[in-house]
Amino acid sequence: MLKNTCLEDDLVNLEVLDEDTIIHQLQKRYADLLIYTYVGDILIALNPFQNLSIYSPQFSRLYHGVKRASNPPHIFASADAAYQCMVTLSKDQCIVISGESGSGKTESAHLIVQHLTFLGKANNQTLREKILQVNSLVEAFGNACTAINENSSRFGKYLEMMFTPTGVVMGARISEYLLEKSRVIKQAAGEKNFHIFYYIYAGLHHQKKLSDFRLPEEKPPRTGFFKIKDASPEELKHESWKVVEIKRDSSIARFCRKGRDARKSSVAGDEARENGQGKEGEKTFSGSLWGDNKKNLIKKEVHSVYRILAGILNIGNIEFAAISSQHQTDKSEVPNAEALQNAACVLCISPEELQEALTSHCVVTRGETIIRANTVDRAADVRDAMSKALYGRLFSWIVNRINTLLQPDKNIWQFCSSLSCSSAEDGMNVGILDIFGFENFQRNSFEQLCINIANEQIQYYFNQHVFALEQMEYQNEGIDAIPVEYEDNRPLLDMFLQKPLGLLALLDEESRFPQATDQTLVDKFEDNLRCKYFWRPKGVELCFGIQHYAGKVLYDASGVLEKNRDTLPADVVVVLRTSENKLLQQLFSIPLTKTGNLAQTRARITVASRSLPPHFSAGKAKVDTLEVIRHPEETTNMKRQTVASYFRYSLMDLLSKMVVGQPHFVRCIKPNDDREALQFSRERVLDQLPLHRDSGDSQHPPPGLFPPHPL
């Protein structure tokens, strides 16, 4: 049973609310496993780093349409508040889950979805199961182990749950942003590739099907793409490499942990170990996650996904060597024909055509096509760009496929809307934002820069609703309120996003110059970003620093220009369109939106779209032209799009979804950096508090600082 509510459930009720008091109360509650605390309208959620039995159907019933003060603080209460506001006010809601990486944002999002499906009375059991299950599938493809989080979201996810006017859940839609594609080809020390690679490798190994996908039994693919460098053939044969089945009530989903550690940290239990995790993982991936009925992915599509994933792993084994010729000395070749054959076989394309696309490129000048050889470095860049494009487009396709699966039944939707005289197209939504947390690693690159800019934008949104708009409301009502001092990060956002002299605009400008280097980029930053938020450390050429709202971060500019360009040669696209894998054809025939995602539209593949340029297809006839049903959001010239421009449009799209809803805030906090239960670091918690200010004034909060929730 639940304990009685107390004064400390909402810290606004305390006589004194300074930082020491807040930390003391949070620490005391955390020691009693009371991980949730209100501070006005904000729910503070401390990561327990252990499973708690407070999320059962019994607890769901307790947090259903009751006053907030009736029960202790809980994530279910936040979900219920959003749901009740939506139904009562007929207004969209937005739940913003923020916090550092490893603070528990993803699990909090799971629990909110779980409770909303309960509140929404999903009488269609199949729909309810699908909504709950897709999280595991999306995480398998979009999450990875980082140095500070074993299940870190490497993309931004905005899940919109759709309800009828009477509050019945009818469907859902996922919007994905800013997938960290670079992780496919390279991971920092102590980090891993996306979960799905380990997942599928272990599953195929258990089923003895690795050879069907040209994946080696004795030696896993090279560590750049797939880190199993410590695994021996004997370990792969036994229980050392196993996949822990994803459970919705897991605090962390763990993949491919080595023997002793897997047994220590498994959240799936003895049954999963006895059955063999590879077998369970494969069963979960192809069965309960993908589904066996006709409404879910058919077996042929699942097999195509396997082949594309295996193709990416095999591409990672392709290496290049320089060759000399009479007229040119910087040509490249593929010395290991087997690696090339394996990749081409799994992707169902010609190995000769693949080699041509990797080691040469077309240049059209004055109507004449010139074939130029690629250097070893350029060939490696093309290989890596191909892998990133394969994974990025596959991820978008999976999200689009999930959205098709979860879309509301139009007939029922229109019928329910007609009863309430509201628009069937408008509906009512509860949006849930789960996005990567602020990151500051030993080495920070372009990926961390984008992640941290996104977090700056979320922090600005938080500041506006919690501080600025609340104070404005008090002023409009004539209430005498003491102005609250808070760090407005709008000037910092302007430094990043404004045109033409913002950091992203300068990056795009430098990316257009073929002769530009990472050094000239940093110099351009220093010349134009003359403000207190930017600095250039002495004695380090390719570095620059940013003073973020969460602290100072030093960024390594090495490779930033190339990452921003993210160029995929047209020759590679054409070769991939020749694949006998229908899904692969589709991935490279559907246009991209302004946010860089695969448009949710159909592409009609004609013979011409699969024909090759002249130097690839001597003697092959070309007919017709590629016909693609254009998407309204498709950009007119995708060749000029950069990662920074995709990023900018992604932020705009995300905010456009968030601002239409009434906000609810959940701030997740990591109580320690060792991921240990019951350990509470006062300094670390204080750094993460959303209400943390530099001035440590001891005072009762002025009216409007932490607005009280209606009882």
C-alpha dihedral (688, 692, 696, 700), degrees to nearest 10: -130
Distance, first Cα to last Cα, the chain: 22
| Contact status, residue 248 vs residue 55, Cβ threshold 8 Å | no
Contact 340, 351 (CB under 8 A): yes
Task: Report mean pLDDT in 10-residue bins for the chain, 711 residues.
Answer: 67 86 94 95 95 95 93 97 96 94 93 94 73 87 91 93 92 94 91 92 89 82 47 39 31 26 27 34 46 56 94 95 75 93 97 96 83 92 96 96 87 58 66 91 94 94 80 72 76 96 97 95 96 93 94 95 92 96 96 92 51 47 33 43 95 94 95 94 90 39 40 33
d(CA 323, CA 334): 10
CB 76 within 8 A of CB 697: no
d(CA 274, CA 278): 11
Pair of tokens at residue 191: 């980090």
Tokens 């609810």, residue located: 664
Residues 6 or more apart whose Cβ sits within 8 Å of residue 166: 87, 416, 419, 420
Task: Kindly report the number of other CB atoms within 10 A of residue 209's CB atom.
Answer: 13
CATH for 446-557 (3.40.50.1000, 1.20.58.530, 3.40.50.880, 1.10.20.10): 1.20.58.530
Sign of CA dihedral 646, 651, 652, 653: positive
* Structure-derived torsion over alpha carbons of residues 553, 692, 706, 433, reported in degrees to the nearest 10: 30
- Alpha-carbon gap, residue 160 to 172, rounded angstroms: 6
* Among the listed residues 14, 3, 1, the one whose alpha carbon sits nearest the alpha carbon of residue 72: 3
Q: What is the CA radius of gyration of the chain?
A: 26
Q: Where are the domains of the chain?
A: 446-557
**Helix, strand, or coil (residue 55):** coil
Q: Is 249 helix (H, G, I), strand (E, B) or coil?
A: coil
Query: Both tokens of residue 500?
Result: 């033409």
Distance CA 707, CA 238 (A): 56
DSSP 608: G
Give the residue from 36, 45, 40 showing the smallest Cα distance to 14. Answer: 40
As a whole number of angstroms, the distance between CA 38 and CA 8 comes to 8
Question: pLDDT value at position 89?
Answer: 94
Q: Residue 136 has what pLDDT?
A: 86
What is the Cα–Cα distance from 291 to 134, expressed in whole angstroms?
Answer: 10
pLDDT for 124 equals: 65
CA distances from 56 to 122, 330, 666 (A): 17, 64, 20
CA distance 574 to 344: 14
DSSP string, 356-424: HHHHEEEEEETTEEEEEEPPHHHHHHHHHHHHHHHHHHHHHHHHHHHHHHHPPPHHHHHHHHHHTT--T
Asked if residue 118 lies in contact with residue 57, where contact means CB atoms within 8 angstroms, the answer is yes
Structure tokens at 520: 């000239």
What residues pair up with 175 in beta bridges, in sequence order? 158
Number of residues that this document lists for the chain: 711
Q: Coil, helix or strand for 306?
A: helix
Token pair belonging to 633: 């959001």
Cα angle 323, 327, 331 (rounded to 5 degrees) comes to 30
Residue 643's contacts (CB-CB under 8 Å, 6 or more residues apart) are: 446, 450, 563, 564, 565, 566, 596
Contact 380, 320 (CB under 8 A): yes
Distance of CA 242 to the CA centre of its chain: 24
- pLDDT reported for residue 345: 97
